[in-house]
Structure 1
Amino acid sequence: MNQVRQIAVITTSDLHGHDEGMAKAGRLIRRLQEQYPDHILIDNGDVLQGSLLTTFCQERQPNEKLPMHHFLETLSYDCAVVGNHEFNYGKAYAEHYRSFSPCPILSANTIDRSTTLPAFGQGWHRKTLSGSFRIAVLGLTTQYIPHWERKEHIEGLDFIDPVKVAKEQMATVIAQQTADLIVIAYHGGIVGNLEDPDAQSSEENQGRELVQFGAHAVITGHQHRVLAGKIGDTAIVQPGSHGSHVGLIVFDYKFLDGRWVFQGANCTVLATQEEQPDERIAQLFYPYRQAMQDWLKEPIGFVIGDMRIRDAMEVRLHGHSWLSFLHDVQRSYTFAQLSVVSLFRDTSPGLDATITRESILLNYVFPNRLAMVSLRGADIKAMLEVTASYFEKRDNGDLQAAMIGDQYRLRPFDYDLWEGITYTIDVGQPVGQRVISILFEDKPIDVEAYYTVAMNSYRASGGAHYPFLAEASVLFQSDAMMTDLIIAYCKEHPVIISENRAKMQIW
């Protein structure tokens, strides 16, 4: 019994219902399960939203077992963590996910206010392997959800600081010696690089703070990063998104003096790109893909001109007809003076000549609603300064996306493009001082005056780099999703003229 015994923690995160990536990840997971018979398999959250498949399931089959349930069941997941996107379709749908799940759904810090207990039933999962080897998993969720989510979707829930919860509950488990291997699975991220001792956590991403309570490993997610390494003696992984990677932490133990003694750990993230899809996983998704084809391919409008996107950087520098079209949609429902939109992904394709439900969903990938807020001119300038920080200059003077370590300073969906104002940005100036001109109706914007601005509900909530927007007066928020509003607009205006109306200069 004093030989080294290997225990594997296998994990996915932020799958978002991307069936192709999940099928590839499934093949790799099966191989790891065979290679490491002593293992625990954990999903770290965000499975219910984020793909054509998840949108179809929510709209058409809300009362049935979901393909994500079949995926968890087929691979024998031991437990899964609640992610922030699990709430995008409301509490009832999140509860539907929990009730049909083949494995426990964890979040020790998502609390039912009426009972003061974990809203999804439990915060911990325990697994005992042969030889009485005990694994304990503490599931935690980013506490930042109320900043993004509609109030009615999380009514009656409290999102407690995960660091506080971990400190209290980890101390009890360690003192009682009820586990040989302790894993914190946190649907939240880590700010900065693992090697940076000076990096500070944010309220949204507190993974760095969770290493201090004695866990052998902290699984992170939410940021869609690919991370593997250690902070101190604690193993850290974050396995990308959409099934692109699988996290693997292999622990060495010896049985000494009547107990299992930790010897060390190695962690890595394994890419699935070269994997062939697992046939059983692909087959379980097949009926859903077949059923949604007619729904996706339904023509809902037509484009005159070219609305395809070929270069995301060109769009951010000069605007694009797809974004002008989004401005039209937003202003038609709100009659706002100004409108602000984003190109959510660098791979957004734009629209072909025939507009379908699929093409809208491929471009507008987030479950936002439409909001209209009242902003001072000074707030508008502050928003533009955030956008201006997206860029940095190369040595030859060309502009590129600014990096901080291995991450972009701004994510694609944090960069805004405006309509209703004309603005000029000088990237050669210091961050925070780059917006050199804003004109409204051909006059300099009044920093003390108030303007009505249409934007998506995520931006209006003050998420990410725009916390000051959380204090703005919300004049309107739609009940319908933005994708539904876009589709309805297309049906009312079936012929869309491709026209880029952006009025901005960036140098």
Structure 2
Amino acid sequence: MGFGRGARRRPVVALLLGILAGGILAGGISACGTAWADPTRFTILYAHSTTELEDVQGRGGIARLATLVRQERAAGGTVLVLHGGQALAPSVLSFYDQGAHVIDLLNGVGIDAMAALNREFHHGDDVLMTRAFEASFPMVVSNAVDRQTGKPLDGLEDRAMLNAGPVRVGVLAATPARTGEITRSPRTDFLPPGPVLARKAKDLRNAGADLVVALTGDSGGTHREVIASGAADIVLYQDRGRVVAVDYDGKTLNATVEPQAAWVLALDVTAETVTKGGATRTVWSSGVRAIDTATVPPDPALDAQAKAYRARLDSMLGMQVGRLDTAIDTRREAVRASENAFANTVADSLREAMEADVALINGGSFRGDRAYAAGTVWTRRDIQTEFPFHDTAVLIEVTGQQLREALEFGVSGIEQLQGRFPHLSNARVTVDASRPPGQRVVALTVGGKPVEPMARFRLATGSYLANGGDGYAMLSTAPRLVDDRDADFVSTILASRIARTGSFAPRLDGRLTVQR
């Protein structure tokens, strides 16, 4: 199944049929300054988001990825392994070691370059720089710079140049421009990815790159901006919920694959040089294989290493906390669009612990993404799975106007299931989602009383939101009554509340009504 240059865009379903049948052919032309013996063939392997120590239903995991890399290289020819990032968070063990074990395991895979995207910045830019120095491969982020120097952060690269035989492959990586809003990275400026990648791709080509590959994610539509920039010949990105998808518009090959290395994308590239009128250019094409790692055994050494990490984690997290007396749902759709029983319990626990008038947490805080049956016995592992972030309780003073502004902002992205979606304690809010963003909160009370603009409230929240995270800038200037250095993690507060009674029964009570 093949495409010529200028071919019409094909539907993803049709492309998938081509992939499973044995590959599609995509072609492009890049500037090149050096000719080589034609043709040259090499493979690009792509995986991303390898956060978990265990496989899922017999596929995925770093140990299987390592075996696949070894098998592909043993088959002969050059294999470039590109990791799309999103691996240092969130996970239960990363809560404790800030992703150090992930780098330790990935060092045994044979990676050629890895993207540093928003989840790599989750633990802060200082921690990311430490992880980058620990890595045996370059960690690349093209649109994040040191705020003082304007240069890449120490230990990181803004681009990489890899050799596939005589072919030089430039690698760029784009993190969302809003990474600064959703992470604690005070020394880093995050730039719009489209213009930055276009400029740096040009620099790579001037330096001799025959092919440019961009690694990115889908948060905030970043992948669409990168694709629209036309900077790269190949764009490899993450897109939640898609096992594998490939698209080609006559110029670039854009592809995504399922996370956790459950499936791995293999691009079998053929490149050759063409000289015409004294100018030399590179013509390339690519077959595409989607490899199901259920067929790949785990690498014994890395599997043993991962099991050692799991054993260490089990000893810390196996302790039982309490019984769940009602069923709950923490899946993305359940915590980012409507009132949620578990979110109510967390917000109530936070408000009570901080002796606040009202509490506010965001739906993006919950990362378990699962349904729990009544009768489930919760352990610390379950709590850390739901709250893998270092979010410390904070008590701030806000006006009624600030509270309303925060809620308006929180419900402004309901349609996109944004993580900013708010959950409350000791408050009732009615939202009309059919109205324009900024005008959706039609009723708001705290403690049963209507909220006046100049009224003042003690608001309990997490340090992430209190610092303006997820776009909650209106909270970042509020006076601190209890700082994050003087309080517990939100996860610890919840665990303590459950442990006191030995059980908990989250319920809906109508505190958040969304009209559509």
* TM-score with structure 1 setting the length: 0.75
Is the 1:28–1:275 Cα contact (8 Å) retained in structure 2?
Answer: no
Match of 2:212 in 1: 182
In structure 2, the CA distance between the partners of 1:146 and 1:107, relative to structure 1 (3 Å rule), is: same
Match of 2:44 in 1: 9
Deviates more, 1:469-478 or 1:439-448: 469-478
Is the 1:219–1:238 Cα contact (8 Å) retained in structure 2?
Answer: yes
Query: Is 1:498 aligned with 2:505?
Result: yes
The one-letter code matched in structure 2 to 1:218 is V
* Aligned positions of 1:295-306 closer than 5 A: 295-299=316-320, 301-303=321-323, 306=325
Match of 1:251 in 2: 269
Q: Secondary structure at the match of 1:40?
A: strand
Is the 1:246–1:272 Cα contact (8 Å) retained in structure 2?
Answer: yes
Shift of 1:48: 1.9
Is the 1:372–1:453 Cα contact (8 Å) retained in structure 2?
Answer: yes
Distance 1:455 1:358 in 2: 23
Distance 2:479 2:70 in 1: 49
* Aligned positions of 1:349-368 closer than 5 A: 349=372, 354-368=377-391
Is the 1:207–1:218 Cα contact (8 Å) retained in structure 2?
Answer: no
Query: Is 1:442 aligned with 2:448?
Result: yes
Is the 1:418–1:502 Cα contact (8 Å) retained in structure 2?
Answer: no
Give CA-to-partner distance per residue, 1:414-440, whole Å, 9 cap, x none.
433222112334567677665443233
Distance 2:309 2:182 in 1: 29
Match of 1:486 in 2: 494
Distance 1:470 1:14 in 2: 31
The one-letter code matched in structure 2 to 1:241 is P
Q: Secondary structure at the match of 2:484?
A: strand
Instruction: Say which of 128, 131, 140 aligns to 1:106.
Output: 140
Match of 2:310 in 1: 289
Is the 1:419–1:503 Cα contact (8 Å) retained in structure 2?
Answer: no
Give CA-to-partner distance per residue, 1:244-285, whole Å, 9 cap, x none.
4433434332244496722334557x3747445524342331
Distance 1:454 1:231 in 2: 50
Is the 1:67–1:284 Cα contact (8 Å) retained in structure 2?
Answer: no
Match of 1:197 in 2: none
Distance 1:327 1:310 in 2: 16
Is the 1:148–1:457 Cα contact (8 Å) retained in structure 2?
Answer: no
Distance 2:272 2:467 in 1: 50
In structure 2, the CA distance between the partners of 1:122 and 1:323, relative to structure 1 (3 Å rule), is: closer
Match of 2:94 in 1: 54
Give CA-to-partner distance per residue, 1:352-387, whole Å, 9 cap, x none.
665421121122233433344444445544555566
Distance 2:176 2:339 in 1: 35
Distance 1:126 1:428 in 2: 49
Match of 1:195 in 2: none
Is the 1:249–1:267 Cα contact (8 Å) retained in structure 2?
Answer: yes
In structure 2, the CA distance between the partners of 1:172 and 1:367, relative to structure 1 (3 Å rule), is: same
* Aligned positions of 1:276-425 closer than 5 A: 276-280=296-300, 281-299=302-320, 301-303=321-323, 306-309=325-328, 319-320=340-341, 322-342=342-362, 344-345=366-367, 346-347=369-370, 349=372, 354-381=377-404, 383-384=406-407, 409-411=416-418, 413-425=419-431
The one-letter code matched in structure 2 to 1:169 is K
Shift of 1:70: 4.2
Is the 1:336–1:452 Cα contact (8 Å) retained in structure 2?
Answer: yes
User: Over the residues paired in the alignment, what is the CA RMSD in angstroms?
Assistant: 3.8
Distance 1:224 1:457 in 2: 30
Instruction: Say which of 473, 477, 496 aligns to 2:478.
Output: 473
Deviates more, 1:39-48 or 1:68-77: 68-77
Distance 1:442 1:469 in 2: 24
* TM-score with structure 2 setting the length: 0.74
Instruction: Say which of 39, 48, 67 aligns to 2:79.
Output: 39
Match of 2:229 in 1: 212
Shift of 1:117: 3.3
Distance 2:334 2:284 in 1: 52
Shift of 1:347: 0.9
Q: Secondary structure at the match of 1:294?
A: helix
Distance 1:353 1:263 in 2: 54
Distance 2:177 2:234 in 1: 20
Query: Is 1:73 aligned with 2:107?
Result: yes
In structure 2, the CA distance between the partners of 1:366 and 1:35, relative to structure 1 (3 Å rule), is: farther
Distance 2:160 2:392 in 1: 35
**Aligned residue-pair number:** 460
The one-letter code matched in structure 1 to 2:443 is S
Q: Secondary structure at the match of 1:332?
A: helix
Shift of 1:182: 1.6
Distance 1:216 1:318 in 2: 44
Distance 1:292 1:353 in 2: 20
Distance 2:334 2:309 in 1: 36
In structure 2, the CA distance between the partners of 1:173 and 1:501, relative to structure 1 (3 Å rule), is: closer
Is the 1:19–1:282 Cα contact (8 Å) retained in structure 2?
Answer: no
Q: Secondary structure at the match of 2:444?
A: strand
Shift of 1:141: 3.3
In structure 2, the CA distance between the partners of 1:92 and 1:381, relative to structure 1 (3 Å rule), is: closer
Is the 2:411–2:420 Cα contact (8 Å) retained in structure 1?
Answer: no
Is the 2:238–2:257 Cα contact (8 Å) retained in structure 1?
Answer: yes
Distance 1:314 1:161 in 2: 31
In structure 2, the CA distance between the partners of 1:172 and 1:415, relative to structure 1 (3 Å rule), is: closer
Instruction: Say which of 128, 131, 141 aligns to 2:175.
Output: 141
In structure 2, the CA distance between the partners of 1:381 and 1:160, relative to structure 1 (3 Å rule), is: closer
Percent identical residues: 18
The one-letter code matched in structure 1 to 2:360 is V
Instruction: Could you tell me which runs of 5 or more consecutive residues in structure 1 were left unpaired when the two chains were aligned.
Output: 193-204, 392-401, 403-408
Distance 1:490 1:191 in 2: 35
The one-letter code matched in structure 2 to 1:141 is T
